[in-house]
C-alpha cells in the first residue's frame, strides 16, 4: 500500500491512526485485477491484496456489531440442526422450520453459513447434508463432540430467526427506525462503516472501464460516496449526482471534502421509495450495496424506476456481494446474507437472480463482471 495523501486523511486522528483507518478502507480489492496498483488522481492506490480472506477467517464483514461465525455455529448447535441432518440424511429449509425453533429466515441463514464453512453441503435441489467434519465434531454421539463448548456472547438466538417472533420483532424494529431515522441513516459511524466495506470494491469497479463513456451518472442511495469519490477522482464524467436521504447529506458532504471532490459531486436529497425520482436526465445509474436490503418485488420496483429515469440507451449498474450459483459460498456473502435476513426482508442474491430482476424491470442485454472480493457489477441497458 502506498502513501495516502494528506487530503484524503481522516481528520481528528493522529497521523498513524488515520493511515491505518484509510488502509482498512481500501483493503477489499482482489489481487488478480490488472488495474490494481494504478494510482487514482486523488492520491491513493488500489490495494495489492484482498481483505476478504482475512475477514472470513475472522468471521466478520466489518459490521462489528453483527454476529461472528461462532454465534452462527453455536446457534446451529442450540437449534439441533446437526442432529436433525444426521437423522434425515439430508434436510431442507422447510424441515428445519418444522422440527426446530427456527423460522424460514433463521433456517436459511444458518444453513447458508454452515454450508459456506464446509460443515454442510447444498445439492442442486436445495437439500443440505452434513460433511465428515460436522459428523466428527458436532454430533453428540461422536467421541469428538465439541458442540457443547461453543458459546456465543449473549447466548440467545436472534429474535428475527425464531418462529413466532419474527413479524412482531421486525415491526417493532422498523417502527423505532422510522421514529429515529438518524440512528440508522447518515450517521458518521454508519458512513465510515459503509466506506470501509465498499470503497476498494467500488474503486476497482471504476477502474473496470464500465463508466468511461458515461456523461451523467446518478448514484442512488450513494451513502458515503464510496463509488462517487473514486469515479470523480479517476474519470472525466461530466456530471456525477449522489443521492441519499436528506438527513445524511451533511455528513456525506464532509466525506467529499476530505477527498477534495465536493465540487465534482452534486448532492441530492432523495428517498429512493418515493417515485418519480427528481433526478436529472442521465445515461447511467449506479445502485451499490442497496438491493440486498429488500425483497424481490421492492428491488424490481426500484429498478423499474431507474429504467423510467434513464435516457434511451442508458445503462443501470447494480453492485452487490453475490452468492456463487449453488449458494454455498463465498463465506463473506453468507455472513452478509445472514445479517440481512436477521432484521429485514432482504437477502444476498446470485448473479442470475440479479439479472432476472433487471429483466423484469425492462432492461435488456444483462451481463456481469467481477469487481473485488465477493462483489459483482451486474449491468443492463435500456432499449
pTM: 0.84
Q: Please tell me the least confidently modeled range out of 27-41, 61-75, 80-94, 142-156.
A: 27-41
Residue 35, domain member (yes or no) = no
Residues 278, 171 share a domain: no
Residues 134, 239 share a domain: no
The answer for residues whose C-beta is within 8 angstroms of residue 21's C-beta and 6 or more apart is 10, 13, 196
Domain boundary pick from 151, 179, 207: 179
Range of the domain at 97: 69-179
Residues 218, 100 share a domain: no
Domain boundary pick from 146, 179, 212: 179
Most confident of 46-50, 236-240, 312-316: 312-316
Per-residue pLDDT at 16: 38
Residue 173, domain member (yes or no) = yes
Q: HSE of 103 in the Cβ direction (CA atoms, 13 Å)? A: 18
Q: What is the CATH number of the domain that holds 169?
A: 1.10.10.10
Higher pLDDT, 15 or 78: 78
Residues 221, 171 share a domain: no
Residues 241, 337 share a domain: yes
Residues 213, 116 share a domain: no
Q: How far apart are the first and last CA of the chain?
A: 42
Residues 240, 327 share a domain: yes
pLDDT, tens digit, for every residue of 36-68? 333 444 456 777 777 777 777 788 777 666 788
Q: What is the CATH number of the domain that holds 257?
A: 3.40.50.150
Q: HSE of 167 in the Cβ direction (CA atoms, 13 Å)? A: 1
The answer for residues whose C-beta is within 8 angstroms of residue 174's C-beta and 6 or more apart is none
**Cα–Cα distance for residue pair 286/27, rounded to 1 Å:** 22
Distances in Å between the Cα of 48 and the Cα atoms of 17, 37, 51, 251 are: 20, 7, 10, 29
pLDDT, tens digit, for every residue of 83-125? 999 999 999 999 999 999 999 999 999 999 999 999 999 999 9
pLDDT, tens digit, for every residue of 266-293? 999 999 999 999 999 999 999 999 999 9
Domain boundary pick from 179, 203, 236: 179
**Cα–Cα distance for residue pair 79/83, rounded to 1 Å:** 9
Amino acid at each position: 500500500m502506498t502513501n495516502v495523501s494528506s487530503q484524503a486523511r481522516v481528520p481528528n486522528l493522529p497521523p498513524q491512526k488515520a493511515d491505518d483507518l484509510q488502509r482498512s478502507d481500501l483493503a477489499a480489492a482482489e489481487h488478480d485485477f490488472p488495474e490494481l496498483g494504478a494510482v487514482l488522481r486523488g492520491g491513493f492506490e488500489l490495494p495489492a491484496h484482498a481483505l476478504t480472506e482475512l475477514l472470513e477467517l475472522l468471521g466478520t464483514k466489518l459490521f462489528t456489531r453483527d454476529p461472528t461465525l461462532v454465534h452462527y455455529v453455536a446457534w446451529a448447535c442450540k437449534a439441533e440442526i446437526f442432529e436433525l441432518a444426521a437423522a434425515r440424511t439430508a434436510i431442507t429449509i422447510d424441515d428445519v422450520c418444522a422440527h426446530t425453533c427456527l423460522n424460514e429466515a433463521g433456517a436459511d441463514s444458518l444453513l447458508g453459513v454452515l454450508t459456506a464453512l464446509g460443515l454442510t453441503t447444498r445439492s442442486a435441489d436445495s437439500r443440505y447434508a452434513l460433511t465428515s467434519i460436522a459428523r466428527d465434531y458436532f454430533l453428540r454421539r461422536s467421541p469428538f463432540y465439541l458442540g457443547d463448548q461453543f458459546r456465543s456472547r449473549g447466548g440467545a438466538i436472534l429474535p428475527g430467526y425464531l418462529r413466532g417472533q419474527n413479524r412482531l420483532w421486525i415491526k417493532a424494529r422498523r417502527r423505532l427506525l422510522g421514529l429515529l431515522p438518524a440512528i440508522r441513516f447518515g450517521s458518521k459511524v454508519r458512513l465510515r462503516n459503509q466506506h470501509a466495506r465498499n470503497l476498494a470494491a467500488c474503486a476497482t469497479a471504476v477502474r473496470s472501464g464500465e463508466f468511461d463513456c458515461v456523461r451523467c451518472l446518478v448514484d442512488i442511495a450513494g451513502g458515503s460516496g464510496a463509488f462517487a469519490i473514486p469515479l470523480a477522482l479517476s474519470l472525466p464524467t461530466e456530471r456525477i449526482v449522489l443521492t441519499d436521504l436528506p438527513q445524511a447529506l451533511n455528513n456525506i458532504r464532509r466525506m467529499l471534502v476530505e477527498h477534495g471532490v465536493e465540487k465534482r459531486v452534486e448532492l441530492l436529497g432523495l428517498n429512493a421509495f418515493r417515485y418519480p425520482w427528481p433526478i436529472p436526465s442521465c445515461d447511467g445509474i449506479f445502485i451499490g450495496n442497496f438491493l440486498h436490503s429488500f425483497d424481490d418485488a421492492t428491488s424490481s420496483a426500484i429498478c423499474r424506476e431507474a429504467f423510467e429515469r434513464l435516457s434511451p440507451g442508458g445503462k443501470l449498474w447494480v453492485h452487490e456481494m453475490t452468492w456463487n450459483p449453488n449458494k454455498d459460498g463465498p463465506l463473506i456473502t453468507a455472513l452478509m446474507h445472514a445479517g440481512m435476513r436477521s432484521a429485514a426482508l432482504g437477502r444476498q442474491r446470485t448473479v442470475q437472480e440479479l439479472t432476472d430482476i433487471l429483466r423484469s424491470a425492462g432492461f435488456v442485454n444483462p451481463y456481469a463482471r467481477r469487481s473485488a472480493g465477493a462483489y459483482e457489477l451486474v449491468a443492463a441497458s435500456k432499449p
